[in-house]
Structure formats: C-alpha cells, structure tokens
Amino acid sequence: MKAIKKIVLSIFFLSVSISYAQTKPIEVSKEPFSIGETLTFYSETLEEERTLNVYLPHNFSEEKEYPVIYLLDGSADEDFIHIAGLVQFGSFSWINMIPETIVIGIANVSRNRDFTYPSTDKEYVKKYPETGHSEKFIAFIEKELQPLVEKQYPVTSEKTLIGQSLGGLLASEILFKKPNLFKNYIIVSPSLWYDYESLLKKEPQPYSTEKSIYVAVGEEGNVMKRVAKQLHKKLNKNKKKNTSLYYHFLKEQDHGDALHLAVYDAFKKLFTSQEKK
C-alpha cells in the first residue's frame, strides 16, 4: 500500500512540475532587426527633405569599395526590401551572381512630379497637376545624390539604375539625355505611353562609356508591350560596340509583379556578361 502511495505521489509531483514548466513564462529579449540604415537630408535642388534607404552588404567594410545600385521607388513600403533581398541573395558566395553591392533606395515624395517631364496631354496634367519636373530630379541625382553617396560610402565607379513604370520612364529619360550618369540600366515596364510617347520620338544622346541595358515588360496590355519593344528597337539601332543590350518579355507576369523576376534575370545577364569580358 505504501509503495502505491509513493508511486501516486511521484506521479502527482511530476505532473505538477511539468505543468509549472509549461506555464512558466519564457523569457524573450527583443531588439530591432536592420538590413542597413536610413539617411535623411535637405536637398537644395528639390528644396525639401529627402530620405534614402541604404542596404549594406553583410560583411561591409570601410576598407573595401562596392558598386552601387540606385533604386527608384525605394521607400521601405515599395521596392526597397525585396530588391535588397535579391542583391543579398545574388551576392552569396555559393550563388555568386553579382558582387557585394550597396543599394540606395530613393524614397518617394511625389512620383508624378519627379519621374515625368512636361506633358502636352492636358487631361493628364489636369488629373496630375504636379507632373512634369523630372529635369530638376535628374539634377538632384547628378549634383547631390551621387556625390553624397560617394562621400558617405566607399564605392566604385560602377553605378546601376533600376526603375519600373513611371520609374522606368525616368530611367529611360536619363538614358536618353544623361547616359553617363549610370553604367547599367534596368528598365522594367516603362510608362513610355506618357505624353503621347514623345520620348520614343527623340534620339538618345551619344555616349562613350561602357553600358549594359536591360529592358523588360510583362503581360500588361498592348500599349505597354509595344512601347517597351520600341524602346529596345531604338536602343538597338543606336547600339555601340561597348553596349550590352537585353530584352525580356515576362509572359506570366503583369505590371504588379514583373519587377522582382525581371531584376533577378537582369542581374544574371548583366553581371555575368561583365565577368566574361
């Protein structure tokens, strides 16, 4: 009988111990998780405060120089995080698709203002009265943004621009008017329908530096597909020997999800081709 009591008591205390262990609160420590840093500064050109989201490679060192990707629509709630993720993945040693790279996400204030040149489309201007100030934004990139980045971080001269939609329109405008601002251009779903497709009627400015240009579009309607093809055709017509030009139609993607896969494909083509030279 005593033996049975001992067994029962042992089971009871074991159950109490297990129950206490299960109900005892787990101590958890929390701290912010960061993939880089945020810079805020006043732009004399734009006459406003601007924000940059910056991705730094995992083993970032001031003793090493890095290429830079400039990302339009680079706010935290836009394209910065998923593009920074592609850069991190592509630079893993076992993937080795691209070199370790700094990403500068240019946070938006007004896309219609910054990414478009003056339009003769009265209905569009009526709907978006702030439109048409890309010239000032391009000056900001050239005279303030790039010098600031070069002062803040150890960077090489290799600069890549990524833009989609209206950002693709701006990237195309920079390529046509100020091609030497960047070495590589990744232009996805460019809104070249803007202002009655007037940019496509212009001839790109000549350049002497090496270029890699990637144009992509998804299943986004006939107009978007046509203008992207026209851009590629015009660039191919004016292509120089020191230029690598690519076009990719993403038949299973639309305007909302084309960018991610396009950029991944662009990284494979642009940086692999440069390694082979």
pLDDT of residue 6: 58
pTM (two decimals): 0.89
pLDDT tens digits for 153-189? 999 999 999 999 999 999 999 999 999 999 999 999 9
Residue labelled with tokens 């779903």: 189
Q: Is the pLDDT of residue 136 over 90?
A: yes
Q: Is the pLDDT of residue 109 over 80?
A: yes
pLDDT band for position 272 (cuts 50, 70, 90): confident
Residue labelled with tokens 């609160």: 25
pLDDT band for position 239 (cuts 50, 70, 90): confident
pLDDT of residue 251: 92
User: Averaged over 111-118, what is the pLDDT?
Assistant: 97
pLDDT band for position 205 (cuts 50, 70, 90): very high
DSSP state letters, the chain: -HHHHHHHHHHHHHHHHHHHHHHSPPP-------SEEEEEEEETTTTEEEEEEEE--TT--TTS-EEEEEESS-STTTTHHHHHHHHHHHTSTTT-SS---EEEEE--S-HHHHS------HHHHHH-TT---HHHHHHHIIIIIHHHHHHHS-EEEEEEEEEETHHHHHHHHHHHH-GGG-SEEEEES--TTHHHHGGGGSPPPP--S-EEEEEEEES--HHHHHHHHHHHHHHHHT--TTEEEEEEEETT--TTTHHHHHHHHHHHHHHHHHHH-
pLDDT of residue 195: 97
Give CA separation, 6 vs 3, 219, 275, in Å: 5, 75, 76
Q: Is 152 exposed, middle or buried (0-12, 13-18, 19+ CB in 10 A)?
A: middle
Q: Which domains does the chain have, with CATH numbers?
A: 33-276 (3.40.50.1820)
Q: Is the pLDDT of residue 58 over 60?
A: yes
pLDDT band for position 241 (cuts 50, 70, 90): confident
At residue 262, what is the residue type? A
Share above pLDDT 90 across residues of the chain, in percent, rounded to a whole number: 81
Lowest mean per-residue pLDDT among 2-6, 54-58, 103-107, 219-223: 2-6
User: Averaged over 192-211, what is the pLDDT?
Assistant: 94
Q: Is the pLDDT of residue 21 over 60?
A: no
Q: Is the pLDDT of residue 20 over 90?
A: no
pLDDT of residue 3: 57
